[in-house]
Amino acid sequence: MSTDFHQRSLSLLSEQLAEMGKSTAELISQISAFQIAVPSWALGAGGTRFGRFSIGGEPRNLEEKLEDIGLLAKLTKRTDAVSLHIPWDIPKDTQAIKEKASSLGISFDAMNSNTFQDYGQALTYKMGSLSNADAATRKQAVEHNLQVIEIGKSLGSKGLTVWLADGSNFPGQAHFRKALEWTTDSLKEIYGGMPGDWKLLLEYKPYEPNFYHTVIPDWGTSSLICRQLGDRAKVLVDLGHHLPNTNIEQIVATLMHQNLLAGFHFNDSKYGDDDLSTGSIKPYQLFLIFCELIGGAADGAQNWNSISWMIDASHNTKDPLEDLIQALEAISQAYAKALLVDREKLTHCQLSGDTVGAQAVLQEAFLTDVRALVREARIQSGGEPNPLAFYRREKIREKLIAQRGKNAQASGL
């Protein structure tokens, strides 16, 4: 796309925005300020339980993961943080890693612990971790989380994300109440080990890897636990962690109403925890989620800056860096569209029972083509007008393969 075409689309859009009562400059500064963290495990080609097909040039260590995110940051200007997973990402030289990250303008988002697989620790997590019937195994899992906090502290992270795979596969296998109690008690110890300026982000997921019962299956259970931990424990919404057709925007509104929303793991799905690219399946849902977020923050339900933003996706057919470029763009677009909603008019429609009017207000915003606005925000921040085209034109994957080899494999999900 030529610069001239971009300028003409932008000025046409600006006119439209002015008619909607919105300032282009203000929108650009809001879009530019919105940064989304990238998880270290999204940089390698993902696999399924049937196979994994390496695309080559994937990062082989933490340094190279940082380099990939640095590249994304440079091209898109939409990310400035990495989320590490321990033990996959234990830094060998903390100081060197910190220096590398800061030279790339990257900070350390929430740390992720791993008690869903065995990696040479003394006791197995086969029958669960924080909920395990065996006290010694629970202790080991708590200590792992405390170690993750220590590593995070040394890097300047301010949060711990806990996703628990614990649950059971058959009726009778687990004692529901005891499993919940053990989990809550274990999490209390972990919470107690966090510095005062840290937050604990507690994920939920209805099923997988366990298929009969999961200890923290939904936002309600996660909320109940967080309430028992303290103010700095909040619920993390991973978009793929819901049964089909769940009203996620309502969950977001409810959590904000209770000041209990920790943040997001963005992805998209057709059936379950598909980890598909954000915005590729249900862009309207993503927009509606942002409408609730913007509304909740505007009404003072929960402070916007208290919410964490991250991508959590993985796929086995796309180049992960291309995918992340697409995801960052889709999230920015949904956010930009939600900023266009005439909130006053929407409230009026809601209070006066004008159903048709309310739908029209939302669709007016959703159907506005904001691509020129998002592009302009990126250009003004020093990013590439079209990051995907740049990535392909500059043959970046080919260069990475030349540097790192054909069969490089990032550790990850």
Q: How far is the CB of 265 from Mn ion (least distance, A)?
A: 4
Q: What one-character DSSP code corresponds to residue 282?
A: -
Contact between 89 and ligand AFD per CB under 6 A: no
Among 14, 112, 210, 222, binds ligand AFD (CB under 6 A): 112
- Under a CB-based contact definition with an 8 Å cutoff, are residues 359 and 294 in contact? no
Count of residues engaged in binding ligand AFD, rule: CB under 6 A: 9
Encode 115-142: b = buried (16+ Cβ within 10 Å), e = exposed. Answer: beeeeeeebebeebbbbbeeeebbebbb
Give residues with Cβ within 8 angstroms of 87, minimum separation 6.
114, 119
Binding mask 299-338 for Mn ion (x = CB under 5 A): -------------x--------------------------
Among 125, 163, 182, 204, binds ligand AFD (CB under 6 A): 163
Write down the residue that tokens 């303290």 correspond to: 230
Give residues with Cβ within 8 angstroms of 73, minimum separation 6.
79, 80, 104, 105, 106
Beta bridge partners of residue 111, listed in sequence order: 160
**Cα–Cα distance between 44 and 90 in angstroms, integer?**
17
- Under a CB-based contact definition with an 8 Å cutoff, are residues 31 and 337 in contact? no
**Cα–Cα distance between 238 and 235 in angstroms, integer?**
10
Contact between 205 and ligand AFD per CB under 6 A: yes
Question: Which among 39-47, 102-110, 266-274, 387-395 is the span making contact with Mn ion, rule CB under 5 A?
Answer: 266-274
Structure token digits, residue 133: 């019937």
**Cα–Cα distance between 317 and 380 in angstroms, integer?**
32
**Cα–Cα distance between 411 and 60 in angstroms, integer?**
8
Query: Of 85 and 337, which CB lies nearer to Mn ion in the complex structure?
Result: 85
Among 265, 315, 337, 375, binds Mn ion (CB under 5 A): 265
Contact between 323 and ligand AFD per CB under 6 A: no
- Tally the C-alpha atoms within 13 A of residue 44's C-alpha that lie toward its C-beta: 25
**Cα–Cα distance between 371 and 362 in angstroms, integer?**
18
Among 89, 238, 268, 323, binds ligand AFD (CB under 6 A): 238
Question: Which among 42-50, 192-200, 259-267, 302-310 is the span making contact with Mn ion, rule CB under 5 A?
Answer: 259-267
Contact between 77 and ligand AFD per CB under 6 A: no
Query: Of 65 and 205, which CB lies nearer to ligand AFD in the complex structure?
Result: 205
Among 144, 242, 265, 337, binds ligand AFD (CB under 6 A): 265
Name the binder of 112 from ligand AFD, Mn ion, none, CB < 5-8 A by kind.
ligand AFD
Name the binder of 413 from ligand AFD, Mn ion, none, CB < 5-8 A by kind.
ligand AFD
Beta bridge partners of residue 213, listed in sequence order: 168
Identity at 314, one-letter amino acid code = S
Contact between 67 and ligand AFD per CB under 6 A: no
Contact between 273 and ligand AFD per CB under 6 A: yes
Contact between 273 and Mn ion per CB under 5 A: yes
**Residues engaged in binding ligand AFD (CB under 6 A):** 112, 163, 203, 205, 238, 265, 273, 312, 413
**Residues engaged in binding Mn ion (CB under 5 A):** 238, 265, 273, 312
